[in-house]
Structure 1
Amino acid sequence: MSNPQVETVTTGADKVKLAGAVVLLVAAIVAFYVLSKQGPWVQWGALLVLLAAAVAAFFTSESGKSLIAYGQDSIKEVGKVVWPTHKEARQMTLYVFAFVVVMALFLWLTDKTLEWVFYDLILGWKR
């Protein structure tokens, strides 16, 4: 990541922006239910406008800017990943399936062996 140090500095203006975002979010939910008798266009319009305002208020705060920077750094890191080819992915999938089948057979054989040892040899119960 490009920013190894974490700094937690919160200004008063930043707190006001975050509080405003929360107030706008609550107002969006309240407006959605209060405006239910006005029709769905007004109801959904108010919800979307207030939600957009809440998102805009959040992304202007330091927390929102940090989230955007984190997303940009994540996209850069995903670009650095060397993805397997189709052939490699298919081969690895077949290896996993083969391993699962072998493990299933091993566990079944172990279960039947223990069942035979405990029930037939030790306890003498015949089925």
Structure 2
Amino acid sequence: MATSQVETVSTGADKAKLAGAIVLAVAAIAAFYALGSRGALVQWGVLIIGLAAAVGVFAVSEGGRRLWGFGRDAWREVKKVVWPTRKESLQMTAYVFAFVVVMAIFLWVTDKTIEWVFYDILLGWRK
């Protein structure tokens, strides 16, 4: 079953909601620093409430609803994943380490062979 993605055009109300969310977030951060003399509890309270309001305004916009839908679909896909067992993970890790060791030995032998051919046989620098 193929579904077609339809891109919606952002309305003026959505743009206003996004702008409002940005203004609320910036105001919350500015209030956090402006209320430094009032104490940490007031500072953090204003920041958390302001950011929560910004998230709430964003959540009711079209972009927020699409983001929520994307997150829901992504979570549904993550639940479909078949994760390897501990034994399988350890075996695959051992295979990777063994391959790295074999490849390192191969490259070292190749390097030493090329070095021997060029410097000892062709150029005769080492005698």
TM-score (norm 2): 0.90
CA drift at 1:53: 0.6
Moved more, 29-38 or 85-94: 85-94
Q: Report the equivalent of 2:40.
A: 40
Q: Report the equivalent of 1:121.
A: 121
CA drift at 1:3: 5.7
CA drift at 1:126: 2.1
Note closer, same or farther for the CA distance 1:117–1:88 as it changes in structure 2 (3 Å cut).
Answer: same
Percent of residue pairs bearing the same amino acid type: 65
- Give the Cα separation in 2 of the matches to 1:51 and 1:114: 63
**Aligned pair count?**
126
CA drift at 1:121: 1.9
- Give the Cα separation in 1 of the matches to 2:79 and 2:85: 15
Q: Report the equivalent of 1:100.
A: 100
CA drift at 1:4: 4.0
Amino acid in the other structure paired with 1:113: T
- Give the Cα separation in 2 of the matches to 1:110 and 1:8: 59
Q: Report the equivalent of 1:11.
A: 11
- Give the Cα separation in 2 of the matches to 1:49 and 1:4: 38
Deviations 1:67-115 (A, max 9, x none): 1110110111111112222222221111111111111111111111112
TM-score (norm 1): 0.90
- Give the Cα separation in 1 of the matches to 2:125 and 2:81: 58
Q: Where does the alignment leave 5 or more consecutive residues of structure 1 unmatched?
A: none
Q: Report the equivalent of 1:65.
A: 65
Deviations 1:16-46 (A, max 9, x none): 1100000011101111111111111111111
Deviations 1:51-72 (A, max 9, x none): 1111111111111111111011
**Aligned CA-pair RMSD:** 1.7
- Give the Cα separation in 1 of the matches to 2:43 and 2:95: 54
CA drift at 1:6: 3.6
- SS of corresponding position for 1:10: coil
